[in-house]
Structure 1
């Protein structure tokens, strides 16, 4: 975080505010748990969850906006063991799907528990700093891991995504690592399969949309089962492919009340239970003219994420 400078402006003069870490690790954990959805886009489930025979306690368990299980670990400063701890608890999670589903059911509801996406569980490590070795390590590990640094400036908390690894790309199914599937139940078709079956002009349009979204240097791309996610700490956009309608369906993190909506192009999706970004604006992009109309809205979504 040494590249982040914060200044207080008074009477045209700038005075630098020195950043600090929290006094104790639990203070950081409690602060983020109380505001997890706003800060990280993750619905908080439970704190200090005991893992039985693994003889550990997961700092926080959550469910992200993609319906993916999330393990969150905290360190007030720099600690190379935070990634190892997260990986150990990920091993527990792979063996305890039903236990996690029970937590989700009790905290959020049966519908959320039934729709958990087990294809690529996620680890989020929050710490005062990470080393270059940490960043290289998550590239080699091959699991879905985010490294997030924090700093406190007076009453301002900053979070910065310093590295993110997408992990193993999901297949067409919702589950992974021998997750149970009822016999005779076909795997749902993945967004990649829909894209592969799409006409060439729609694939070209998806490629152009991809370039627009990734033109923002800190936006990460992750292919999920049902959509392609573009995110910073939280999702910026989620993209689904509808070959039959020859459109790309794009959900953006925007307040619908702040956007002029147009029939057939944009709509308010609050309360509709959509995949990906649930409470925002949906765009239907079927042409390059539609894509051009979407650029300014995409920029707003990036700034809001």
Structure 2
């Protein structure tokens, strides 16, 4: 985003100058009011106290699309302490799982609380900018961390850019991911699963893979694809691409808006052969770009 230029073309061509928020709280209140749209995270609490002993306040607490706990920390500009501060709170969160689950139950209900996924709690840092040392640091920590740069354009536009994204899973979660990749199915279906996995992971940097019992999610800041366990003759992939913008093909693509299914996304893609994976690549890229 640092090199992005935005122009208003309504009356001639006028550059819309990017700016930082006047105060950090302006960024926080804007993101919290639209957290699910902006980050794919359901908002739980603001300025959450970690108690007198720990002595801190978490800027925002949330739960992402896959049930992972999320801490969001904000800085108006560049702040070398934002990552360490967030990790400090993340350690507290892992040690207070029951308290967090009670919060989820009170705000989102019993079902959401029962499905909290503790294999990869996340820290999202939103700031005016980050240094190369920040980017290096997140790759050294054994935590799931997203660094997100923001800019305001005029009085109505907000830009978010993922600067770095690292996902770390527990050994149990990594074993579960490996087990779902191979074995227990016909060889052609195993090959199809591997081809889809390779295609989705290869779309760009910072793609994280999250394994749940009912599906596997592929995520940038938000989910852009969810792959369900293969059926006998096909593999179902759900994408965030807009079904209304796609020429739907019976037996290949389907609009599932409003229909119940595992994972997230309103466009269903049915894959039966490696050729189908090739046909779906443009749809994969469109969903990735929209995440």
- 1:172–1:190 Cα contact (<8 Å) kept: yes
Give distance in 1, aligned partners of 2:123 and 2:262.
21
Aligned to 1:15: 14
Aligned with 2:228 (options 218, 240, 248): 240
Correspondence 1:272-287 to 2 at 5 A = 274-277=261-264, 279-287=265-273
Give distance in 2, aligned partners of 1:251 and 1:191.
18
CA shift, 1:204, in A, is: 2.5
CA shift, 1:196, in A, is: 2.0
Aligned to 2:193: 206
Q: Structure 1: any 5+ residue segments left out of the alignment? A: 174-188
- 1:171–1:225 Cα contact (<8 Å) kept: no
RMSD over equivalenced CA pairs, Å: 2.4
1:195-241 alpha-carbon deviations (Å, 9 max, x no partner): 22143323332333234334433451324244443233211112233
1:155-178 alpha-carbon deviations (Å, 9 max, x no partner): 2110000100111355259xxxxx
Aligned with 1:195 (options 162, 168, 181): 181
Give distance in 2, aligned partners of 1:218 and 1:16.
29
Q: Structure 2: any 5+ residue segments left out of the alignment? A: none
Give distance in 1, aligned partners of 2:228 and 2:83.
32
- 2:119–2:173 Cα contact (<8 Å) kept: no
Aligned to 2:288: 302
CA shift, 1:293, in A, is: 3.3
Call closer, same or farther: CA 1:217–1:172 in 2, change over 3 Å: closer
The SS at the match of 1:171 is helix
Call closer, same or farther: CA 1:199–1:214 in 2, change over 3 Å: same
- 1:58–1:73 Cα contact (<8 Å) kept: yes
The SS at the match of 1:190 is helix
Give distance in 2, aligned partners of 1:238 and 1:276.
5
Query: Which TM-score applies when normalising by structure 2?
Result: 0.89
- 2:40–2:223 Cα contact (<8 Å) kept: yes
Aligned to 2:47: 48
CA shift, 1:263, in A, is: 5.5
The SS at the match of 1:29 is helix
Call closer, same or farther: CA 1:71–1:9 in 2, change over 3 Å: same
Correspondence 1:68-217 to 2 at 5 A = 68-154=68-154, 155-169=156-170, 171-172=172-173, 190-197=176-183, 198-217=185-204
Aligned to 2:4: 4
The SS at the match of 2:228 is strand
- 1:249–1:284 Cα contact (<8 Å) kept: yes
CA shift, 1:19, in A, is: 1.0
Give distance in 2, aligned partners of 1:303 and 1:91.
32
Aligned to 1:27: 26
Give distance in 2, aligned partners of 1:20 and 1:162.
18
1:125-156 alpha-carbon deviations (Å, 9 max, x no partner): 00000000000001001210000000011021
